[in-house]
Amino acid sequence: MGERVRLDWVDMAKGLSIFLVVTMYCAASVGEDTGQTGFLHWTIAFAMPFRMPEFFLLSGLFLTKVIDRPWRSFTDRRVVHYAYFYALWAIIHILFKEALVARDPGSAAASLALAVIEPYGVLWFIYMLAVFGLAAKLLHDIKAPQWGVLAVAAVLQMASIHTGSYLVDQFAEYFIYFYAGAVFAPRLFALADWTGSHIVPALGVLLAWSVLNAVMVFSPGFRMDPVHIEMGWGAIPGIHLALALAGAAAICMVAALFTRLPFMNWLRWMGARSLVIYVAFVLPMGIARIVLLRLGLDEPNLLSLLTMVVAIAAPLVLWWGVEKTGFGRLLIERPIWAHLPGTVQATAPNPSPAE
């Protein structure tokens, strides 16, 4: 499989991941406003085991290509890069929602201060990527054995830690997937290669996985709620971890198959701009939902679908406008002054998959 095709399936998987994340937030927010559930809730319920784990696994996929860099170069690429977008968009979100809409500058100031030590809102993912990159580099430099780290990270995930600190809790919950993405990267690329050249057997594997995942999610204990969905047996520690890793591998296989379908190229294109979508979808999502509700649209299926379309399209329109005009480029591209001295002078809004 050629290098461009290898990167194409990664972007395709990122597209699937960001699609699921935006869908989840749209369904939950509509459910909270209407008290009803729709078909997107069932889609998200099926994806619960692997939705966020897949995102972190993909983010760790190329870690080994940069982990040996000097600290300054690595920190600029894997820590400062994400910290910049987190800080910028946290300021935008907080000022818009709390200072402008809620007209509570005191609350906005408090939220800005807290956002330094606790991940803010939907941007928690970007915050944790910086933390995970820093942790991985430290573990690499002290020569911590990979299998030992994986074992400890797995125990942390299965322990269902709830300390009250979102930073600590999310680290315990998700570091295993980021680190597994780095450790198992060669096997995941081999799996994608095999999938692309063995389509019928791959489809059989995906069918078996989808049945097993559905059984584990919708088994006794499952509860559908407009805002918070609870899995059945899939929520059991250990089973949850296994389902997450299996689902992440399945998404990689689906992405490899999609690269063979030219009409799915839009998903690859979207995945290449997944960071832009992630940081910018919340505000248009909220505005669209509020406007549609005020227009009298409260049917959960149509409301969720239209809200999701706006939430995904608006960041891409922002990207297109910046590319065409050059205005507001710092919203999607880290400027030179936001790099550490002596490092590269420019980076795309999404780091190259090779890094």
Decide if pLDDT at 89 tops 60: yes
pLDDT at residue number 4: 54
Per-residue pLDDT band for 350 (boundaries 50, 70, 90) equals very low
pLDDT in tens, 105-141: 999 999 999 999 999 999 999 999 999 999 999 999 9
pLDDT value for 7: 83
Tens digits of residue pLDDT in 235-262? 999 999 999 999 999 999 999 999 999 9
pLDDT at 233: 97
pLDDT of residue 344: 60
Query: What distance in Å separates the CA atoms of residue 282 and residue 157, rounded to the nearest whole number?
Result: 27
Tell whether the model's pLDDT for residue 263 goes beyond 70: yes
Of residues 348 and 298, more confidently modeled:
298
Tell me the average pLDDT across 231-235. Answer: 96
Within 13 Å, how many C-alpha atoms sit on residue 342's CB side? 6
Question: What is the arithmetic mean of pLDDT over 322-337?
Answer: 94
The mean of the pLDDT values for the chain is 93
Residue 32 contacts residue 296 (beta carbons within 8 Å): no
pLDDT at 6: 54
Query: Rounded to 5, what percent of the chain is helix, strand, coil?
Result: 75, 0, 25
Hey, where are the domains in the chain? 3-338
Residue 1 has pLDDT above 80, yes or no: no
Does pTM top 0.75 for this prediction?
yes
Q: 3-state class of 295 per DSSP?
A: coil
- Residue 109 and residue 123: Cα distance in Å, rounded? 17
Contact of 253 with 10, CB cutoff 8 Å: no
